[in-house]
């Protein structure tokens, strides 16, 4: 369970997050630009996410003995589909849920479709698959965290339901944060592996929630959540550091903002150069220049 900067990299450019968010010392720009390219690592992670579906309470092996052999075969085909071939995985998944709409594997397949549609940036179908997965299991934390994370990253304030979408993301991430500590440990995970998996999932949930508050310009709450998303995270999302720096900037905590931008500038990626520039500016503001 890697953070989404490496596992599912939606690169929200600095200008997109800066729009109507930073103080006049920073540039203003309009629009959002996900700039998403699904690399091999991201595609491999999609398959790993399916394997880790136990985090959402799904353990297909428990129900397998009572399942129609044809259904088990169809599920195995979906599960074993190459993560590089998202079109094939989507076809197998959609065929599965059409043929077996209420089987023991159905929730897991819908959760897998959420990841596959994510890889294609097909947000409408991703949300539709998520809704169906959550209709079966409202406590599927993998789906809750994924959708709650994506919404503020692809947020477009000009859309008529933009505010409602942020409300949904907030609800999903808060619920996930409440549920994750109480998840039962899967039998195939060690205590250390399970603790690490929960910590990564919590960090991702705080990341999504922090960006929701950042989009609303509720900077105090954004700082609190984004600090939890980054502190102790072995592979933090540079977008989180950028938004954290911007939120701190807007609350006139210039030294802390410079530190957040510095962390962002240390991570290779599309935000690196912008974060270095903002770090320098925040340092100047901290010195009263």
Query: Exposed, middle or buried by CB within 10 Å (0-12, 13-18, 19+), for 23?
Result: middle
Q: What is the pTM of this model?
A: 0.82
CATH 3.40.50.920 describes domain 1-37+139-289:
no
Instruction: Dig out the tokens for 73 from the structure.
Output: 């075969």
In CATH, what class is 58-137?
A: mainly alpha
Residues of the chain with CATH 1.25.40.10: 1-37+139-289
Distance CA 155, CA 173 (A): 16
What is the rounded CA–CA span in Å between residue 200 and residue 232? 10
Q: For residue range 105-137, what is the model confidence (pLDDT) as tens digits?
A: 999 999 999 999 999 999 999 999 999 999 999
Round the average pLDDT of the chain to a whole number and report it: 82
pLDDT tens per residue, range 65-116 = 477 899 999 999 999 998 789 999 999 999 999 999 999 999 999 999 999 9
The string over 267-284, giving b where at least 16 C-beta atoms fall within 10 Å of a residue's C-beta and e elsewhere, is beeebeebbeebbebbbe
Q: What is the residue-level pLDDT of the chain in tens, covering all 289 positions?
A: 444 543 333 333 334 454 334 433 332 222 233 333 344 444 444 444 544 444 444 444 444 447 789 999 999 999 999 878 999 999 999 999 999 999 999 999 999 999 999 999 999 999 999 999 999 999 999 999 999 999 999 999 999 999 999 999 999 999 999 999 999 999 889 999 999 999 999 999 999 999 999 999 999 999 999 999 999 898 899 999 999 999 999 999 999 999 999 999 999 998 999 999 999 999 999 998 5
């Amino acid at each position: 369970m890697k953070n989404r900067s490496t596992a599912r990299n939606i690169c929200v450019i600095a200008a997109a997050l800066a729009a109507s968010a930073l103080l006049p010392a920073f540039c203003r720009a309009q629009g959002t630009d996900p700039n998403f390219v699904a690399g091999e690592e991201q595609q491999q992670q999609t398959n790993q996410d399916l394997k880790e579906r136990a985090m959402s309470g799904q353990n297909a092996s428990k129900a397998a003995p009572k399942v129609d052999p044809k259904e088990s075969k169809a599920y195995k085909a979906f599960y074993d589909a190459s993560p590089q071939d998202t079109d094939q995985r989507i076809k197998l998944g959609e065929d599965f849920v059409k043929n077996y709409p209420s089987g023991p594997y159905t929730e897991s397949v819908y959760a897998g479709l959420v990841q596959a549609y994510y890889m294609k940036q097909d947000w409408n179908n991703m949300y539709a698959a998520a809704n169906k997965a959550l209709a079966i299991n409202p406590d599927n934390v993998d789906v809750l965290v994924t959708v709650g994370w994506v919404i503020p990253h692809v947020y477009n304030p000009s859309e008529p339901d933009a505010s409602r979408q942020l409300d949904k993301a907030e609800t999903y991430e808060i619920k996930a944060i409440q549920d994750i500590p109480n998840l039962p440990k899967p039998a195939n995970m060690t205590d250390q592996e399970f603790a690490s998996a929960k910590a990564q999932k919590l960090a991702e949930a705080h990341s999504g929630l922090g960006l929701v508050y950042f989009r609303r310009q509720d900077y105090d709450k954004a700082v609190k959540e984004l600090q939890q998303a980054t502190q102790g995270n072995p592979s933090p999302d540079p977008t989180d550091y950028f938004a954290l720096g911007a939120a701190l900037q807007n609350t006139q905590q210039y030294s802390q903002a410079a530190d957040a931008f510095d962390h962002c500038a240390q991570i290779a990626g599309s935000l690196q150069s912008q974060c270095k520039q903002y770090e320098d500016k925040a340092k100047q503001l901290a010195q009263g220049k």
